[in-house]
Structure 1
Amino acid sequence: MKLFKNTFLSATLTGLLLAASWPTYGFPLLIFIAFIPLLMAEQNIRVSGTQKKLRVWANAYWAFLIWNLITTWWLINADLFGMLFANLVNTLLMSLLFLLYHSIAKRVNQILSLIFLITLWICFEKLHLIWDFSWPWLNLGNVFSDYPQWVQWYEFTGTFGGTLWIWIANAFGFYALVQNLSRKTAQFILIISIPLVLSLWMYTTYHSTGKTKEVIVLQPNVDPYKEKYAIPNLEVARGLLQQTDSLITPNTEYILAPETVLAQNLPFGNFEYSEVRSLLRDYIYLHPKAQFLWGIDSYDLVYDSKEVTPSSNFVRDNLWVNNYNAALFINRNPAYQKYLKSKLVVGIENLPYKPILEPLIGNLMIDLGGTISTKTTQKERSVFTGDDGTKVAPVICYESVYGEYVTGYVKNNAQFLAIITNDAWWSDTQGHKQHLSLAQLRAIETRRDIARSANTGISAFINQKGDIISRTQYNEKTALRGLVHLNDVKTFYVRFGDYIAYAALPVMIVLFLFGITRRKKSPSYYWPR
């Protein structure tokens, strides 16, 4: 089509449409046509002259660079190198996917090549959820996070259902344009509207279930760059309890404070005898129902090489240290419960593929204050047990971006999700707003209420439908009280996880092997004349 003859403008349009659809400023309906200009550009290049691969890659890189930079430029507030690495490398990976699609599209018919692209993209998104360079922020299913009414069926599919929906719409729209099938407009509208109508029906008919618990979420609003790591833990704890005093009632049972709010490194073994522990014991004596779920920066020393793990940090001969970003749960029980954050931020909390890279480049970690070292994780998702047997999931910061990961808490019988985070690194940008909105998807997938405590915004309560019931503002010292429902039902997605991605992998492999064994087709085979 003449409209898409200028491939550079087509690629630019794709990048802008993707960015304009993204939360929390965009409108996600645009994403159902966002890839069509880039697909048309690839098609035009495929039937054109020389340097086809280079042109396809360059156009794709430009489109995805626009999308990445507009949506996640705010990473620069934490670290310039981290922002450049995340955006440039993620853009490169996306563009290479498109180049691989181009190679297969030259050998098979249009429908098979589009199915290959869809399954390839889904597998790429799954890779971004599990490998050491994990960065799933721009996984397509996340685009609806600000519109939870549109994707209530995520309780069955997770975000991969959204990715599949988006790609089916784009592929169908592109195919109809290529084949000049103007009569397919109605079918294109149905592809978008049927899942949407189904979701709206689910939204109106679903009601939060389970008995309720009263929760307070604290927002201390401490500057992590200048103040956080200089304030003694005891002073921090006193300040948090003063905030709690303004809202606590005889019915309050859970008091949440942000990730690493106790920031002065303290060995786990010493916490039981610390002044903070004594202060909290005294508070519980005055408020017997009170139970604390707080974040802490902690560590353990390791002297036995047999106990060293890949994430242990070497100090000197016969001495290693395990550093933790952890959650503590403290109530009337003499022993406290703990959980170690296990989905770590790349370059800040872990060095990817440390056994391979550290001998080559050293401990190249980004300094955001506190301890500059790889954090030690745990295999299982711990669930904290309250005085009356209530189960709460301690989800720490970045972990709330991972759908199947969060289901691990629910499989271990978590009845509501407690997210503790520190969103101050990105200043007042889209970063902390997008992070909050992604939590809305976790509520739908698991049908669990969420209580969210953020250091400097946004703290919130989210219901089982993904609605934000109440919230704070950014950059204010405050606290919020609300109710959470306790749900014991495990959704289809909780039980089966990212099955769409697992199903996509063999399909992608078969189509790839089929494609590379075929001869290249003449342009008339895939481009109607």
Structure 2
Amino acid sequence: MIFEKFYFFNQLRKLLNFGERHSFLSSFFLGFSLNFALSPFGIWMILPLSITPFLIILDSASNFKRLFWIGFFYYLGYFAGGLYWITIALSVDWSRFFWLFPFSFLGIPIALAFLSAPTVYALWIFKNHPNLKIFLFAGSIFIFDLMRTYIFPQFPWNLLGYTLASSPWFLQSTALFGVFGLGLFALFLGAFPYLLLKKTTRHSGIFVCIFLSITFFAGGVRLLKNPSQSTSLSLCLIQPNIPQTLKWVPSFRKTTLERLHTLSTLATSSSPKNFSLLVIWPETAVPLFLEEEEVLRRQLTSFLPPNALLITGGGRRTSSSTFSFVNSTSPPQQKIWNSLFVLDPEGKILNIYDKVHLVPFGEYVPFRKALQALSVSHFIDRTLDFSEGEGLQNVYLPNYPPFSPLICYEIAFPHHVLNSNFSRPEWILNITNDAWFGTSTGPYQHLQMAQVRACEEGLPVVRVANTGISAIIDPCGRFLNLLPLNQTGTLRGLLPKSLPPSFYARYGNWSPLFLLLIFGTFMGISHLCTFLFKKKKEKLL
């Protein structure tokens, strides 16, 4: 072959031969490398360097058992590298969560890898049909991402689509097909060199290149045609930067509230009087049950001008008791919620939203009864599970545009920002406390999810985080204002205008199925063309 004359291709062949001989180790590191496509690195060009060698190594598997384990180690590398921040989050409260360390460091990546590994099954069953096996492999990954988002374990962190979300032009495709469709683009972008290398799939590889190029440049056109525009609503985001180790300490409570009040007073002192104003504090900014603190509410809102409202996170419970956020001695019937409150300048509560999607082990203990039978029951009995809210909703306030409230990782769920009657809000508000993540990649990954939700729905996203990263994001996913991680401060800006409902906003997760059908149709046509060309060539011979 002519390629053998070139040093690069000789070295590449040696590398692939090494990968085939050490398939498990190579697969692990190839999967690990995929994390560099995620935020904060955003090196999405690494996709072909990770996925194509992985597919070549899978081709070398002599039986299905080996194929399964190659897939397992690839996914293990991806999840181990992308979810290491969970261990950091648990280390904040070592005495309470130390028993979860082995599970978070090894158990979660291994469990997700086992759930993911069957996606390679299509590559074995249809190994003699190259186009079909790649198409079904893409479909199986799509189904797996849907499953782990909405069915089990309901943990949609680092879906494959986020590996391509750092490209502003590719990101625009989420307005059509959502993050699951972006995952299909990511897979085919990673696999197109593999398709081009094989004669039987070369036509498919050419089609994929053309389709990806059109998608990429169409995204650039969409950005040019939709410049950011602002409404008259003024926003003031407060980032108090309270360490997680001090957040729930009773003696530090006064310092927390004073910092919030001081930052808010300084930020609103020069606010324009002719604009409506929203001052927004992060998730659980007030470490108290606000409904029971009427005097405190009036004190907290004393800085508000007449044209302003305060939105803050806080706790809510069914009735007064001895409950503590740190050590619970509450009776079993006690219910508490992680809530968002809207307060007027007199401290009156205008609206409440209770969080629906709770964080496992952070806000509730899964399989509590089973775990109580184990030696960790002492630590479980010290905690009380948060209760789920009644459901997603829009918040309507007089003279303010309606918004969809999402607390913490509720922003991670695609097409989950509107209420059941499909009444469309004008923006999305995400309040969160990312202090648990420390300086890991967790806060950046969480921010990227908010960015993708904005582009998917065609709605601006306002994100307010305790330790950062707070941001105002326009409906095309552009960051208009941003306050860095672990910085105390305020962020001022105007609410961006929303766009008309996107294709994905209208049809939800049916739209990526349409994209999968497009890929399948053209790959089927290319397979037929290759087959007919081969038959014609055989007749001539």
Q: Distance in 2 between matches of 1:12 and 1:84?
A: 14
Equivalent residue, structure 2, for 1:258: 282
Q: Distance in 1 between matches of 2:413 and 2:248?
A: 27
- Which of 103, 115, 122 aligns to 1:101? It is 122
Q: Distance in 2 between matches of 1:112 and 1:485?
A: 44
Contact 1:69 1:87 in 2 (8 A): yes
Question: Is residue 90 from structure 1 mapped to residue 112 from structure 2 by the alignment?
Answer: yes
Question: Is residue 421 from structure 1 mapped to residue 432 from structure 2 by the alignment?
Answer: yes
Equivalent residue, structure 1, for 2:531: none
- Which of 508, 514, 518 aligns to 1:497? It is 508
Contact 2:239 2:487 in 1 (8 A): yes
Equivalent residue, structure 1, for 2:27: 11
Q: 2:243 corresponds to which letter in structure 1?
A: D
Q: Distance in 2 between matches of 1:212 and 1:409?
A: 28
Whose relative contact order is higher, 1 or 2, with alpha carbons under 8 Å and at least 6 apart? Answer: 1
Contact 1:82 1:347 in 2 (8 A): no
CA deviations over 1:222-272 (Å, ceiling 9, x no partner): 1112343425766533431210111111346111111111123x274x24x
Q: Distance in 2 between matches of 1:353 and 1:12?
A: 30
Contact 2:48 2:191 in 1 (8 A): no
Q: Distance in 1 between matches of 2:377 and 2:67?
A: 34
Deviation at 1:314, TM superposition (A): 11
Equivalent residue, structure 1, for 2:306: 288
Q: Distance in 2 between matches of 1:33 and 1:166?
A: 12
Deviation at 1:494, TM superposition (A): 1.6
Question: Structure 1 residues 494 and 353, CA, compared in 2 at 3 Å: closer, same or farther?
Answer: farther
Question: Structure 1 residues 389 and 243, CA, compared in 2 at 3 Å: closer, same or farther?
Answer: closer
Contact 1:444 1:465 in 2 (8 A): yes
Equivalent residue, structure 2, for 1:121: 141
Q: Distance in 2 between matches of 1:9 and 1:65?
A: 11
Q: Distance in 1 between matches of 2:373 and 2:136?
A: 37
Question: Is residue 141 from structure 1 mapped to residue 154 from structure 2 by the alignment?
Answer: no
Deviation at 1:90, TM superposition (A): 1.3
Equivalent residue, structure 2, for 1:510: none
- Which of 317, 328, 331 aligns to 1:299? It is 317
Q: Distance in 2 between matches of 1:377 and 1:453?
A: 22
Question: Is residue 328 from structure 1 mapped to residue 341 from structure 2 by the alignment?
Answer: yes
Please tell me the root mean square deviation across aligned C-alpha atoms, in Å: 3.3
Structure 1 residue runs without a partner (length 5+): 304-312, 508-529
Equivalent residue, structure 2, for 1:31: 47
Equivalent residue, structure 1, for 2:217: 197
Deviation at 1:504, TM superposition (A): 9.4
Q: 3-state DSSP class of the match of 1:487?
A: coil
Question: Structure 1 residues 430 and 364, CA, compared in 2 at 3 Å: closer, same or farther?
Answer: farther
Q: Distance in 2 between matches of 1:242 and 1:155?
A: 40
Question: Is residue 350 from structure 1 mapped to residue 364 from structure 2 by the alignment?
Answer: yes
Contact 1:291 1:386 in 2 (8 A): no
Q: Distance in 2 between matches of 1:488 and 1:192?
A: 24
Q: 3-state DSSP class of the match of 1:321?
A: coil
Q: Distance in 2 between matches of 1:36 and 1:87?
A: 22
Equivalent residue, structure 2, for 1:156: 176
Alignment of 1:270-285 (within 5 A): 270-271=292-293, 274-280=294-300, 282-284=302-304
CA deviations over 1:311-354 (Å, ceiling 9, x no partner): xx9965xx512221111111268443111111221222233466
Q: Distance in 1 between matches of 2:425 and 2:490?
A: 24
CA deviations over 1:468-523 (Å, ceiling 9, x no partner): 1121122222111111124373222222111146679999xxxxxxxxxxxxxxxx
Q: 3-state DSSP class of the match of 2:267?
A: coil
CA deviations over 1:354-405 (Å, ceiling 9, x no partner): 6x756766997999xxx83322123432222233142122221111111211
Question: Structure 1 residues 97 and 153, CA, compared in 2 at 3 Å: closer, same or farther?
Answer: closer
Contact 1:28 1:143 in 2 (8 A): yes
- Which of 54, 57, 65 aligns to 1:54? It is 65
Q: Distance in 1 between matches of 2:133 and 2:204?
A: 20
Q: Distance in 2 between matches of 1:299 and 1:423?
A: 23
Equivalent residue, structure 1, for 2:243: 223
Contact 1:123 1:505 in 2 (8 A): no
Moved more, 127-136 or 117-126: 127-136
Contact 1:218 1:240 in 2 (8 A): yes
TM-score (norm. length: structure 2): 0.79
Number of equivalences: 479
Q: 1:258 corresponds to which letter in structure 2?
A: P
Equivalent residue, structure 2, for 1:521: none
Structure 2 residue runs without a partner (length 5+): 1-12, 91-100, 322-327, 519-541
Equivalent residue, structure 1, for 2:188: 168
TM-score (norm. length: structure 1): 0.81
Q: Distance in 2 between matches of 1:157 and 1:323?
A: 37
Q: Distance in 2 between matches of 1:57 and 1:416?
A: 44
Q: 3-state DSSP class of the match of 2:236?
A: strand
- Which of 70, 85, 110 aligns to 1:74? It is 85
Contact 1:123 1:504 in 2 (8 A): no
CA deviations over 1:274-293 (Å, ceiling 9, x no partner): 32222245444xx1112111
Question: Structure 1 residues 464 and 102, CA, compared in 2 at 3 Å: closer, same or farther?
Answer: closer
Q: 1:290 corresponds to which letter in structure 2?
A: A
Q: 1:440 corresponds to which letter in structure 2?
A: Q
Question: Structure 1 residues 228 and 475, CA, compared in 2 at 3 Å: closer, same or farther?
Answer: farther
Q: Distance in 2 between matches of 1:182 and 1:501?
A: 24
Equivalent residue, structure 1, for 2:470: 459
Q: 2:362 corresponds to which letter in structure 1?
A: I
Q: 1:92 corresponds to which letter in structure 2?
A: F
Question: Structure 1 residues 338 and 235, CA, compared in 2 at 3 Å: closer, same or farther?
Answer: farther
Q: Distance in 1 between matches of 2:430 and 2:420?
A: 12
Equivalent residue, structure 1, for 2:527: none
Equivalent residue, structure 2, for 1:306: none
Q: Distance in 2 between matches of 1:412 and 1:15?
A: 41
Moved more, 192-201 or 407-416: 407-416
Equivalent residue, structure 2, for 1:341: 355
Q: 3-state DSSP class of the match of 1:35?
A: helix
Deviation at 1:167, TM superposition (A): 2.6
Equivalent residue, structure 1, for 2:132: 112
CA deviations over 1:34-58 (Å, ceiling 9, x no partner): 322222222211xx3xxx2332222
Q: 1:325 corresponds to which letter in structure 2?
A: N
Moved more, 174-183 or 108-117: 174-183
Contact 1:159 1:403 in 2 (8 A): yes
Contact 1:148 1:440 in 2 (8 A): no
Alignment of 1:227-238 (within 5 A): 227-231=247-251, 236-238=256-258
Q: Distance in 2 between matches of 1:153 and 1:184?
A: 21
Q: Distance in 2 between matches of 1:229 and 1:135?
A: 29
Q: 2:136 corresponds to which letter in structure 1?
A: F
Q: 3-state DSSP class of the match of 2:313?
A: strand
